[in-house]
Structure formats: structure tokens, C-alpha cells
Structure 1
């Protein structure tokens, strides 16, 4: 029962996170931000997570998830209110998104660590699958609510709505309505250094896999709204396209446990990355909203299982008492990718157009997916022995 309450609260919170991505991108474009400035704004969301995710994990290991959840959820709400309080100022978006990213990382690490603490080794895959299924629902609701809210209530009130979605779950943790497991304190592992975790072979390969996945996710989240805007699509239509991606996430995660019973982890990952590569190749070939919804849905089918698998892999290979720190390092890798993608590809897109951006990422995903499947055919090792 506690699991489903936590997942519901994570769903509500994550709705604000997913809505923020499309809201900030469209708002900055409405304020006539250059492609470079837009890239900096989007990248600022990942700046502090890139620097402090591992610390957030260590803090969660030390004091438990309750305080990080409370401060993170309320801090995210405050960050979302700043553009409403200081209207039509691009520099406020830089401040808001930097604060948003810092508070968000504490919340996400704490939630993931809490889900892991609630589970056993036998139920862990199921628990994280349930959690990511809830996140998938929020991935659907966030862009959809945001798109329609922008069209009918404009940007300011949309920031307020998303701030409410962020703050409400924090109230449940303030009033201690959830029985949170006690912290598993470190023992002999407490002197291990950050670098030792980063260089541990099984964990390093998990981090690399996660980084490849997030490259695709980051490019999609950054460029799809820009591409849709360049086609003259409304915010509501763009929100619907992104929501189709989330619907596919939901479906893929509903069937993830069944799929994993039929196929090995690396086979599932390789197939999903290949499907995503095909979708990335197709995106710039079409300008009709209906077809883009279909392509977005196909991409969601591909990416849907990748992230929960990488979370489970990271948790299972964590030293005792350091699960939060390992999850934090995983997010550090992810946020580094999300920080660099808008900056590197923002200018590239403005100079060369959308084809090179989408197709280069399609090539990366295709190569990664093929490598996983090919190595599986030549080896009986698990995914942890596949990526160097």
C-alpha cells in the first residue's frame, strides 16, 4: 500500500517536472530567445544536478529521504513561481531553472532510494517498474496539461499550476503521513570514495548505458518543441505529440515484466534502442502533426523500458548503505548529458537544421542497440559484461 502512495505522490510531482520542460522552452521562444540562449536556459536545469546528484544521494543515505523530499518539492515549487512573479524576463528563466534543477535532483534521488528501500531483492524489479509506470503517466499528463494551459491561460498561470503540482506531494511528507523505512547506515563501506564507485566495472557500464539512453531522451525533449514550433504547430498540438510518447512509455512498462521473462536484459535494451533510432530518423522527414504523433509513440515504445532497467541495475550493484549515492552518480551522468546536449546541439541546429541533429542521434542509438544484440549473440554474459 505504501508503494502505491509513494508512486502516486511521485506521479503528481513528476507532472510538474515534465510540464516544466515544454513550458520553459515555449516561453523562452515566445520571449524571442536566441537558439544559444535557449540552449543555456534548458541546460541550466541540469547544471546543479550534474554537480550535486552524488551529494544528494549521500545525504539521503545519511539522513533518510523525508527531509530531501520536503525541501526538494517545495524548492521546485518556488522555482516555478519565479517566472510568474517576474514576468517577461529571460534572465529569470536562468535563475528559475537552475534552482529547479537543484531541488529536483534531491527529490528524484530520494524517491528512487525510497522505492528501493521499500522493496526486497525479489520485488525490486516490480517495484521500480511500478514507479516508472507512474512516471510515465506523469509524462503524459505534464505536456498535455501544460500545452492546453498555455493556449487557454497563457504562460504565467501555467507556471502557477505546475508549482501547485510540485508542492502538494510535499505536504504529505511534512505531516508524516507515510511510514518511511529507517536508513541503512554504512559500515565498512563508509570510507569508499566517490571515484571508486564511479570506476567499479559493473557500475561504470551501467552509467554508460544510462548516458546513452539519456542522450536520446534529452535531444527529444529539447528539440521536439522547437521543431514543432518551427512547423507552426500550437502549444496544445506539441503537448499532444509529446504525450503520445508518454502513452507508449506506459504501454511498454506495463508489458516490461512479461518481456523480461521472455528475453534477456541486453536483448530488450538492444531492441528498444534500435526502435528509438528508427523513430529519430523519421522525425525530420515529416511535418504533419498526426504522423509526428505516431513517430513519437514509436519512440516511446523504444525508450519505455530503458530507464527502469538502468535504475534497477544501478541499485542492485550498489554497495550496502550507498544505494542513494550510486543512484546519485547515475543521475550525475544523466544530467551531464542533459546539460551538454542543449548547449552543443542548440547552435548546431540553428546552423545546419534538424536533419543532422536527429540523424546523428539515430546513428548513436542504432550502433548502441546493435552492439548489445550482437554481443548477446556471441556471449551468455549479462548486460553488465557487455558495454566497455
Structure 2
């Protein structure tokens, strides 16, 4: 294992300050991600209320994934060079600008711009937050615990943002909802001050050629972890996309499908809450391989069941496995990447995931329409099996 580079709260920092910094990072990500999730709910509803077509809704939703993918590499390089505060300030101002623009004037153009800005803010900030969080860890076990806490942020944001937006859209209108969502990145700007500052990395000498971020993919462990991260992300998308199709094929009604999705959400949230407490007792490599293998098995078994209760049990197991695997992925990716280039590695991961989010639904739709939802589950099971095999080749602290 290589020890983390001194960061916003290095090994010599008292535990209390380290915990304060970690709590601030979780809160900052909740602010940015919650704002984006709230706009993801409000903007499409606003587009439909304005009388635009479903195509316009699709265009707005694409903006949330497109701009984080385009800005990921600059965000990663900036985080590596300047640390935590500047990237997070840029992220918060992007999200703030997006919500204020949508509140000021609501038309198709401004809502697309708001989606792009809020998506970019969430993606830009996430890279800096995850990179800096890894520098709070003093050991492999501690890094897994840190990322277990960080993994709570998207779950909390997915509750706070849409709930705030949905209630205010119904009671006070879209402008009020967007203005309320602007409070979340504003809070991020304030809370970020609790994170100790990191000394910026010296600028490269004039004429020095900067190494390409894509060169990181020549490192086999980094390449494998980016693939594993993509497979896990794709499995979330497949489950959300293909489950309704499979349910209709099985004759399940909307209430039964809601039960299945609720089982997934409840299990995922529960395991994320318990994970930080159990991290010290878990082997990161065993956790990574085991969770991928379990997810592979669940996807293979899903289409074999016709009962809503059996499918809900599968969904709960899937929620547990995917809730466990995310902190292990993040901790391992940081461990196999040179410390001075961890922001770039996170950027490659972010770019891959957001590009997948923009493209994969079209592919899922083509496969589901032509050969059925069950095949989507089995293809995903095969990909997860490959991911499990890749995970077994990554040894502790391997960085080649």
C-alpha cells in the first residue's frame, strides 16, 4: 500500500479535525448533488408544462450527463493541481447559476442551460471531493471507511433534492422551487470553509509536456477499475430501465413494481448506513470480488422469477451488493493510482460513467424491444462476471 499524499487533513491532523473535514465534504456533495437531483425532477416537468414534446425532455435530460463528461478531465487536473477549494467553488457557482437562470426565465433554452450547469457542478465538485476525501485516510481500512461515508451523500441528496423540488413545484410554482434549490450550492460554499486548505502543487516548468490522462489507462489496475466502475454503473441503469419491462412481461401491476423498487432502495440505504461501522471488519478485495459475484448471480436469477415477492428479494440483495461495492471501488481506484494523478483517474471514471448514461439507454431500448428484457439482465450478468474476474487480478496496494 502506498500512503496518501498530504492533503486537506493529513496523517498528523487530529482525529476531530479529520472527522469535521469529512463531514463537511459529505455535506458539500449533498448540496451539489441534491441541487442537481432537484433540477432533474423540476426541469422536465417544467418543459412539459410549457407544452414541449418528449423529445425536448430527452434533450434536457441529456444535458445532465453530457457536460459532466466533457468537463471531467479539466476538473480532475484542476483538483490535482489546486486541491479542494477552487474546484468546489467553481462547482457551486455553476449549480447556483443554473438554478437562478431557471428561476429567472423558463423556456427550453434556459432549462437546457440550467441542466448543463447543474450537471457540470455536481460532476466537477464530485471529483474534487472524492480526491480530497482519500487524503483523510491513514490506512487501507480507513480509506474504505472514508468512502463509505462519502457514499452516503448521493443517497441523501437523492432524498433531499427531489423532495424539496417536488413539494415547492406543487405549492409555490417552478420559480420558487428553483430558488429553493439554489440554497443547496450556497450552503456548499459556506460548509466548504470547514475543510483545511491543501498546498497547491507547483506549476510545471515552461515547455514541460503534460502527461495525457488517457495514459493512465496503460496501467492495468487503473484500466480494470475503470471497467469495473462502468459495469457497476451500467447495472444500476439496466435495473432501473429493464425492471418495468420485465414486470410487464410477467404481468405485474404498478403497485407490485413499486414494491420491488422500494425493496431495492431500502436495502441500498440500509447497507450504506451500516457500511462505515463495518468497514474495519471487511477485506476490501474480498468485498469487491464478493459484491460483484453476488450482483452477477442476482442478475442471472432475476428473469427466472415471476412472483413480485421473489423479485423484491432479488432487488433487496442487489441493493445490498451495489451499496457495498461502491466504497470498495473508490478506495481501490485511489490505491492503484499514483497520488499526484488521482484527480485524473477520477475524471476518467466520471467521463466514462456520464458518457454511458447518455448513450446506454438507447442501446437498452433497442435490445429490450428486439429480444426482450430478460436478455438485458443476462447480458449484464455476463459483464458483471467479467468485472469480478478483473477484480481478482488486483492485489492489495498494486500499482504497476
> Following TM superposition, by how much is the alpha carbon of 1:129 offset from its aligned partner in structure 2, in angstroms?
1.0
Is 1:23 paired with 2:10? no
> Following TM superposition, by how much is the alpha carbon of 1:219 offset from its aligned partner in structure 2, in angstroms?
5.3
Cα distance in 2, alignment partners of residues 38 and 113 from structure 1: 33
Matches within 5 A, 1:292-371: 299-342=318-361, 344=363, 348=366, 352=369, 356=372, 359-371=374-386
Q: Is the 8 A contact 1:42 1:222 kept in 2?
A: no
Q: Is the 8 A contact 2:264 2:315 kept in 1?
A: yes
1:27-70 Cα offsets, whole Å, 9 max, x none, are 44444554443332212112122122012111111112201101
> Following TM superposition, by how much is the alpha carbon of 1:226 offset from its aligned partner in structure 2, in angstroms?
12
Partner of 1:60: 79
> Following TM superposition, by how much is the alpha carbon of 1:214 offset from its aligned partner in structure 2, in angstroms?
1.8
Cα distance in 2, alignment partners of residues 92 and 285 from structure 1: 45
Partner of 1:181: 198
Is 1:50 paired with 2:69? yes
Query: Which moves more between the two structures, 243-252 or 5-14?
Result: 243-252
Is 1:102 paired with 2:102? no
Residue 317 to residue 198, structure 1, CA distance change in 2 (3 Å): same
Q: 1:213 aligns with which of 212, 228, 232?
A: 232
1:73-108 Cα offsets, whole Å, 9 max, x none, are 121122123222222x22322222122222222211
Cα distance in 1, alignment partners of residues 100 and 245 from structure 2: 23
Q: 2:129 aligns with which of 91, 111, 124?
A: 111
**Which ranges in structure 1 are unaligned for 5 or more consecutive residues?**
none
Cα root mean square deviation, aligned: 4.1
Query: Which moves more between the two structures, 242-251 or 183-192?
Result: 183-192
Which entry has the higher C-alpha Rg, 1 or 2?
2
**Which ranges in structure 2 are unaligned for 5 or more consecutive residues?**
1-18, 247-251
Matches within 5 A, 1:70-219: 70-87=89-106, 89-122=107-140, 123-173=142-192, 176-183=193-200, 191-218=210-237
Partner of 2:294: 271
Residue 216 to residue 93, structure 1, CA distance change in 2 (3 Å): farther
Matches within 5 A, 1:366-377: 366-372=381-387, 375=389
Where 2:196 maps in the other structure, the secondary structure is coil
Paired residues in the alignment total: 365
Q: Is the 8 A contact 1:140 1:245 kept in 2?
A: no
Residue 305 to residue 291, structure 1, CA distance change in 2 (3 Å): same
1:119-142 Cα offsets, whole Å, 9 max, x none, are 233321111111112332223333
Q: 1:11 aligns with which of 24, 30, 38?
A: 30
Residue 226 to residue 26, structure 1, CA distance change in 2 (3 Å): farther
Q: Is the 8 A contact 1:73 1:107 kept in 2?
A: yes
Q: Is the 8 A contact 1:43 1:343 kept in 2?
A: no
TM-score norm. by structure 1 comes to 0.77
Residue 177 to residue 382, structure 1, CA distance change in 2 (3 Å): closer
Cα distance in 2, alignment partners of residues 209 and 162 from structure 1: 33
Cα distance in 2, alignment partners of residues 77 and 274 from structure 1: 42
Cα distance in 1, alignment partners of residues 50 and 313 from structure 2: 30
Q: Is the 8 A contact 1:136 1:250 kept in 2?
A: yes
Where 1:202 maps in the other structure, the secondary structure is helix
Residue 75 to residue 263, structure 1, CA distance change in 2 (3 Å): same
Cα distance in 2, alignment partners of residues 29 and 63 from structure 1: 41
Cα distance in 2, alignment partners of residues 195 and 35 from structure 1: 36
Cα distance in 2, alignment partners of residues 304 and 130 from structure 1: 12
Q: Is the 8 A contact 2:76 2:347 kept in 1?
A: yes
Where 2:182 maps in the other structure, the secondary structure is helix
